[in-house]
Amino acid sequence: MKSKLKNLQTKEGVIIVVVNMKIDNIVYHPDSVEKVSNWIYKEFVEEKGEKSLEFVIERFKNRNIDEFPISFIAIVNGMCAGVISIFDNDLGTREDLTPWLAGLYVDENFRGNKIAEALINTVFKKCKEMGYTKIYLRTEHTAEYYQKRGWTFLENTVDEYGEETTVFYMSLK
């Protein structure tokens, strides 16, 4: 997916002129694996303390094109600006549900500019191409974000680590 955007303003007030944005599979951008792995490790993995950064890097090095796990990155002006993944399962206590949107992250300097939306739409498109009619996600902190974007609440539950989480789904039409 390619699109043209206008300007991005960072938290520091610096304006980045965006010439174009491209969403692409991380498989084609091995040079972005370390950056993406650091984001995901710090945002979702580190505080749980069960997996190392090296584990996360290895997982991203082994992504796929047409079977899970799949990861897409947003490239803005040649820079990696965000990431999203699709897993067959992201909640060990609900192995009956598949597939899962997971690990959505947009670099702080690029937030508020519809990059997350473009990444999510890419996941929807890929899941539809693969024959799925629903996709799930879990969140501990951003339920309101997904509710505002049309996701349907499924349940509040506890994951395999004892952490409370909220599960949503989106019907893919």
pLDDT in tens, the chain (173 residues): 444 445 555 556 666 655 589 999 999 999 999 999 999 999 999 887 789 999 999 999 999 999 999 999 999 989 999 999 999 999 999 999 999 999 999 999 898 889 999 999 999 999 999 999 999 999 998 999 999 999 999 999 999 888 999 999 999 98
Contacts of 96 (CB under 8 A, 6+ apart): none
From the list 144, 83, 166, the residue with the least C-alpha distance to 119 is: 83
For domain 2-131, the question of CATH label 3.40.630.30 is answered with yes
pLDDT score of 47: 83
Instruction: Output DSSP code: residue 45.
Output: I
Report the alpha-carbon distance of residue 45 to residue 11 in Å, rounded: 25
pLDDT score of 5: 45
State the first-to-last Cα distance of the chain, in angstroms, to the nearest integer: 19
Report the alpha-carbon distance of residue 147 to residue 162 in Å, rounded: 24
pLDDT score of 20: 84
Tell the burial category of 148 from Cβ atoms under 10 Å away from its Cβ (0-12, 13-18, 19+).
exposed
pLDDT score of 1: 47
Q: What is the DSSP string of 79-136?
A: EEEEEEEEES-S-GGGTTS--EEEEEEE-GGGTTSSHHHHHHHHHHHHHHHTT-SEEE
Report the alpha-carbon distance of residue 173 to residue 168 in Å, rounded: 16
Amino acid in the structure at residue 164 = E
What residues are paired with 155 via a beta bridge? 167
